[in-house]
Homo-oligomer: A and B are copies of this chain.
Amino acid sequence: MGYPPALDAYRTRVEEALARVTSGCGGPAGLVAAMEWSLLAGGKRLRPVMLLATRDLFPPGGLDPMPAACALELIHTYSLIHDDLPALDNDDFRRGRPSCHKRFGEAAALLAGDALLTDAFRLVGDAWRGSDDPAGLAVVAEIAGAAGSAGMVGGQVLDTIGTGRALTADELHAVHRGKTGAMIRAAVRCGAILGHAQDDELAALTSAAERLGLAFQVVDDVLDVTASAGQLGKTPGKDREQGKTTFASLLGVDGAGRYARELSDGAIDDLRRFGPAADPLRDLADFFVTRNA
Interface residues of A (CB under 8 A from B): 25-28, 30-32, 35, 78, 82, 85, 87-88, 105-108, 110-111, 113-115, 117-126, 128-134, 136-145, 147-150, 153-154, 156-158, 160-161
Contact = CB atoms under 8 A, between A and B. Distances in A.
Contact of A154 (B31, B88, B141): B31
A30 B161 contact: yes
9 contacts: A27-B150, A30-B161, A110-B110, A117-B118, A118-B149, A124-B137, A125-B140, A131-B134, A136-B136
B87 A110 contact: yes
A125 B148 contact: no
B110 A149 contact: no
Contact of A130 (B28, B32, B117, B138): B138
This chain's copy number in the assembly = 2
Given A88-B110, A148-B115, A27 B141 contact: no
Given A130-B137, A140-B140, 9 more contacts: A27-B148, A27-B153, A31-B153, A31-B154, A111-B153, A122-B144, A125-B141, A130-B138, A132-B132
Contact of A110 (B85, B130, B143): B85
Contacts of A153: 27, 31, 111, 114-115, 118
A117 B114 CA distance: 8
B119 A144 contact: yes
A185 to B, nearest CB: 15
A117 B116 CA distance: 11
A134 to B, nearest CB: 5
Contacts of A154: 26-28, 31, 115
B115 A87 contact: no
Contacts of A123: 144
